[in-house]
Amino acid sequence: MLEKQRNAFMYLPVYVAAIAIYLLAGILQPRFLTWNNNVNLFTRIVPLLFAGIAQTFVLLTGGIDLSVGSIIGLTNVIAASLPFPDTGMNLLLWATVPLLVGAAIGLSNGVIISRWGFPPFIVTFATSTIWTGVALFIMDVPGGEISISIYRTITGKLFGVIPVPLLIIIGFVAFAHMILRHTVFGRSIYAIGGNKQVAKESGINVSRIEMFSYMSSGMFAALGGMYLSAIMISGDPLVGDPYVMNSIAIAVIGGVALIGGRGGVQGLIGAAYIFYLIDNLLNLLGVSTFYQYVAKGLVIILALTLTSREQGFSMKRGLLSVGRKAKANLQ
């Protein structure tokens, strides 16, 4: 099958589902379709998307990053603690320091995991606690201050029409996609996730690319933290907590394979929408919003069942778990 076809298979369902839910919500409550509400949605989706992009970079290499949430929290707090960004210099600080911190943390994860060879799950599990602790150290209760002007810019509209959050969404997803699709770094990530041995034999420096994938994750998480600081006009050390598991969830729903080598950021927007729309829709249906948890759980299971089947999991000779397609190809 052509790459285009495979991509369509992988990403269309997510968007079809997202659009379906969206329209359903719109039918039930016309107010839902108003421009204002949409802008609202854009604004709320951004951090989850950043977290999803971060996670995707790492998942594609076959790893996992449980420290995404804590990096968001830490960079959020740092951003809110920097000198009040009303001068150009301070603005520059706000824009760069959290990013560098995210990169540094990500890189440290990468070194421990890739250079030193420890399992990603526990390492990022451990470091997430550490960095949350540091965040709490800097700011034990929500506080800090961001200038109103940043808030206004981030939530404002370009040329008075296009909402900035929408630009952020499209811009950064496109940026991430470009890296993954059109740079050597990105393609190396897929190679490593596909088959580390083959990648190594092709001359790819596996440990370096893996380290950079964790660094990228840290940076995108930092972007999420910065964004949140602007939106909330303050910092909260624990703000990142819900994003860890959600980032994995939307990555998986969006087509990224947990074992690596397959997927991309194309499905993230749709998946994030599905997540946010679920409670919106339930609300409009007059159903208790508690059903959102049930719905989200079912959505994840559904998405996994579909992707697991297609992948034809075990590649070992004919063991009962091999999907039919893969079996035919092997024999």
Partner 1 sequence: MRQIVKHFPGTRAVDGVDFNCRSGEIHCLVGENGAGKSTLMKLLAGIYQPNSGTIELEGVPVVLKNYSEARKRGIGVVYQELSLLPECTIAENFTMGVWPRTKGGMIDWMTVNAQARKIMAMVNLDLDPSELIKGLPVAVRQMVEIGKVLSQDPKLIIFDEPTASLSKDEVRLLFGIIRDLKARGKAIIYISHRLEEVFELADRVTVMKDGKRVATEQVGAFTEDTLISKMVGRELKDIFPPKLSKGQAGAVKFSATVKYDQNHEPISFEIREGEILGFGGLQGQGQIRLLESIFGLRRVKELSVTIDGKPCQIRNPWDAIRKSIALIPENRADEGVFLTMSVADNLSVATLPQRARHGFIRKKLEQHAVGTMVEELSVKVSSLYQPANSLSGGNMQKLVLGKWLIANPTVVFLLEPTKGVDVGTKQHIYTLIRSLAQKGVACLLYTSDMLELIGMSDRIIVMNNHAISGELSGSGITEENIMRAAVRTRMAQEARNA
Partner 2 sequence: MQLPKPTLTDILKQQKVLILLFCVVIAMLMIGELLAPGFSSFQHIQTILRTASFVGLAAIGQTLVILTGGIDLTIASLITLGQIFGCLFVNTSDANLWWAILLILLIGGVFGLISGLGVSYLKISPLVMTLAVSSLVNGVTLISIEGAPRGRASPLLERMGAGSVAGMPSMVWIWLLLSAIVILFLRKTIVGRQIYHIGTNSTASRYSGIRTAQIRTMVYVLSAMCSVFTGILLAGNTARPFLGIGKEYTMWSITAVVIGGTSMAGGSGGYLGSALGAIIIIMLEGLLTVINIPEAGRKIANGLIILIMIMIYYRQNRKR
Q: Is 174 in the site for partner 1 (CB under 8 A)?
A: no
**Tokens of residue 108, six digits:** 């440290």
Q: Quick one: what does residue 175 bind among partner 1, partner 2, none, with the CB cut-off 5 to 8 Å set by partner type?
A: none
CB of 199 closer than 8 Å to CB of 91: no
DSSP string for 176-191 = HHHHHHHSHHHHHHHH
Judged by beta carbon, residue 31 or residue 181, the one nearer partner 1 is: 181
Q: Does residue 128 touch partner 2 according to CB under 8 A?
A: yes
Q: Does 161 bind partner 1 (CB under 8 A)?
A: no
Report which residue type is found at 258. L
Q: Find the shortest distance in angstroms from Cβ 312 to partner 1.
A: 9
Site for partner 1, residues 277 to 316, rule: CB under 8 A: 316
Options 27-35, 49-57, 205-213, 245-253: segment touching partner 2 (CB under 8 A): 245-253
Instruction: Compute CA distances 321 → 263, 286, 313, 326, whole Å.
Output: 22, 42, 7, 10
- The reply on whether position 286 binds partner 2 by CB under 8 A is no
Rule CB under 8 A: choose which of 24, 39, 104, 134 binds partner 2: 134
> Which among 224, 217, 225 has a CA at the least distance from the CA of 74?
225
- Least distance from C-beta 314 to partner 1, angstroms? 12
Q: Is the dihedral of CA 5, 50, 260, 187 positive or negative?
A: positive
Binder of residue 171, out of partner 2, partner 1, none (CB less than 5 to 8 A by kind): none
Cβ closest to partner 2, residue 172 vs residue 276: 276
Q: What's the rounded Cα separation, in Å, for the pair 138 and 140?
A: 7
Q: What is the nearest approach in angstroms of partner 1 to the Cβ of residue 296?
A: 27
**Interface with partner 2, residue 321, by CB under 8 A:** yes
Instruction: Report the distance separating Cα 127 and Cα 107, nearest Å.
Output: 12
Residue 177 found at the interface with partner 1 (CB under 8 A):
no
**84, two tokens:** 């009040």
Category of 63 on φ-ψ map: left (φ > 0), alpha (ψ -120 to 50) or beta: beta
Positions that interact with partner 2 (CB under 8 A):
64, 112, 116-119, 121-123, 125-137, 140, 245, 248-249, 252, 258, 288, 290-298, 300-301, 304-305, 308, 313-314, 316, 319, 321
